[in-house]
Amino acid sequence: MFSILDAVKMGAGIAAGLMLYHLYAVSIGYPSAVREARAGYVILAERTSADARAAEMERQRNAASLASEEHRKRLLAAEVAEQAARETLETEIQSNELQREKNRACAVTAADRQWLLRH
């Protein structure tokens, strides 16, 4: 049936076939290894993207918080300045009213009238 020479030929053929498959797989890359690498890369890329999005949202939240706090401080300062200006205006109005009342009052006495009449 089969001689030793036939078994050697079959072994050499199988070895040559395996060698050709290996060269083919190395030249184009092992498909299973490529799929595994891509799957790992996709997971890594998605994780990196999610981390970057989370960091950006954190940065935006912190910036909004700082801006809100700064706006609150400025609003408070503006209200204090407005209150001070209102108080100053009220004080000036009262002062002017007192001055007007003082200027309206006739300081001429009867003695002054007599003196004016004599001169």
pLDDT digits (tens, 9 = 90+) for 53-106: 999 999 999 999 999 999 999 999 999 999 999 999 999 999 998 888 877 767
Tell me, what's the pLDDT at 35?
75
The separation between the first and the last C-alpha atoms of the chain, rounded to the nearest angstrom, is 168
Reading the block at residue 116, the tokens are: 């004016």
Tell me, what's the pLDDT at 42?
83
Name residue 3's amino acid: S
Average pLDDT over residues 25-45: 77
Tell me, what's the pLDDT at 12?
93
Euclidean distance between CA atoms 25 and 41, whole angstroms: 21
pLDDT beyond 70 at 107? yes
Of 79, 78, 59, 55, the closest CA to residue 67 belongs to 59
Tell me, what's the pLDDT at 93?
93
Q: What percent of the chain has a predicted confidence (pLDDT) above 70?
A: 93
pLDDT beyond 70 at 1? no
Rg (CA), the chain: 50
Euclidean distance between CA atoms 14 and 82, whole angstroms: 96
What length does the chain have?
Answer: 119
Q: What angle do CA 56, 61, 62 make, to 5 degrees?
A: 100
Tell me, what's the pLDDT at 99?
86
Is 95 strand, coil or helix?
A: helix
Is 1 strand, coil or helix?
A: coil
Reading the block at residue 50, the tokens are: 């999610």
The whole-model pTM stands at 0.47
